[in-house]
Amino acid sequence: MQANTMKALAKTHPEPGLWMGHYPVPEIGPTDVLIRVNATGICGTDIHIWNWDDWAAGTVPLGLITGHEFAGEIVEIGAQVEGLNLGQRVSGEGHLIGNTSRQSRAGRFHLDPGTRGIGVNEQGAFAQYLKLPAFNVVPLPDDIPDEIGAILDPLGNAVHTALSFDLLGEDVLITGAGPIGIMAAAVARHAGARNVVITDVNPERLSLAEAVADVTPVNVAQEDLQAVAARLGLKEGFDVGLEMSGNQAALDQMVEGLVMGGRIALLGIPPGKSPVDWSRIVFKAITIKGVYGREIFETWYKMIAMLQNGLDVSKVITHRFAAEDFQDGFDAMRSGSSGKVVLDWTGMQA
């Protein structure tokens, strides 16, 4: 039997920060499971909520338990749930979907317009226990440890973006060497890309990218991207671009660096409105695809398969803290110099 109360991190004040407090353990319904959380990852979304920027203030209700990247084990199962077991190690899809939209009824669950997110709209995973619909549960194989299970959500973003286009034998440009961009670089190499170039202006992030994956890091504040492409023998440019930074200058540079008929997958979100030279995109016949979240559940299948077949993103985790030391974890993430930051909940006392 689990305790009646639990510790959790919540947004309780309309100002920067999160606060650890005691909350009731969630009560599950007949189609839910209760998960004891072992590890959580800190996401860029969590940083927005911590900072209480305009997006967070207009989206996140006060009192919400935040966090959506997690791994744990099932400790209670709803009466109508089949195919899951007590004690089973799991992660899960944090997008809670409806079943009435055209997209959901067609099986394109990630495009459901009524999607709500745990840790953003619904009670989240920075807690000792999490209630989750059984539909959203993703079992973890024994060879995937909890700390990797806790970053499958952002890895899924990287996989969804990277696999938007065929990468076999292609030359790939990635703009933005944050943790998701770095993981996308590793995925691109695993998927058979010939050259993978990743750009940024943060030397620590570029060094991390080089440690995680077989990539060519380029500091665009110091190096000319066109010269790098020429050095690699790319006479016409890159075939595929993965824009992960949300920086307009990076997107402009990507458009210029692509071949005629090049393809871009956009995951980075620019702040506000950005000027775009659409004529340049049209005359280069460039295809642009916006990417949101993960394909439910195809992306989960592919990334777990790749992890079991040699994809190694473990080095992207640069900081590990006990959940009690969440302040240190958020400080590391907010510094802009870390990779993924993981909080360990296993030693937390109720």
Rounded Cα gap, residues 244 and 192, in angstroms: 20
Rounded Cα gap, residues 250 and 244, in angstroms: 9
- Domain-by-domain residue ranges, the chain? 5-151+313-344, 158-290
Q: What is the pLDDT of residues 255-293, one digit of tens each?
A: 999 999 999 999 998 888 888 899 999 999 999 999 999
Which residues 6+ apart lie within 8 Å of 250 measured at CB? 175, 176, 199, 220, 243, 268
Does the annotation count 100 as an active-site position? no
Assess whether the region 5-151+313-344 and the region 158-290 belong to the same CATH fold. Answer: no
Q: What is the DSSP letter of 143?
A: T
Residue type, 218: V
Within 13 Å, how many C-alpha atoms sit on residue 10's CB side?
17
pLDDT at 272: 80
Q: Which of 45, 115, 161, 216 is catalytic?
A: 45
Q: Which fold has domain 158-290?
A: Rossmann fold (3.40.50)
Rounded Cα gap, residues 20 and 12, in angstroms: 9
Rounded Cα gap, residues 54 and 233, in angstroms: 45
Q: What is the pLDDT of residues 21-64, one digit of tens each?
A: 999 999 999 999 999 999 999 999 999 999 999 999 999 999 99
Does the pTM of the predicted model rise above 0.85? yes
Which residues 6+ apart lie within 8 Å of 240 measured at CB? 165, 167, 170, 171, 172, 173, 193, 262, 263, 264, 265
Measuring CA to CA, which residue among 228, 27, 203 is closest to residue 129?
A: 27
CA 298, 299, 302: angle at the middle one, nearest 5?
Answer: 90
pLDDT at 271: 80
- Residue that has been written with the tokens 């959380």 in this structure: 37
Strand 317-322 relative to strand 340-344, pairing: parallel
Q: Is the pLDDT of residue 3 over 80?
A: no
Q: Which of 13, 22, 40, 48 is catalytic?
A: 48
Q: What is the pLDDT of residues 312-341, one digit of tens each?
A: 999 999 999 999 999 999 999 999 889 999
Rounded Cα gap, residues 215 and 235, in angstroms: 19
Tokens coding 44: 């860029």
Rounded Cα gap, residues 89 and 142, in angstroms: 8
3-class DSSP assignment, residue 329: helix
Element (H, E) at 189: helix 179-190
Q: At what angle do helices 152-162 and 179-190 cross, to 10 degrees?
A: 60
5-151+313-344 CATH:
3.90.180.10
- Percent of the chain's residues with pLDDT above 70: 99
Does the annotation count 13 as an active-site position? no
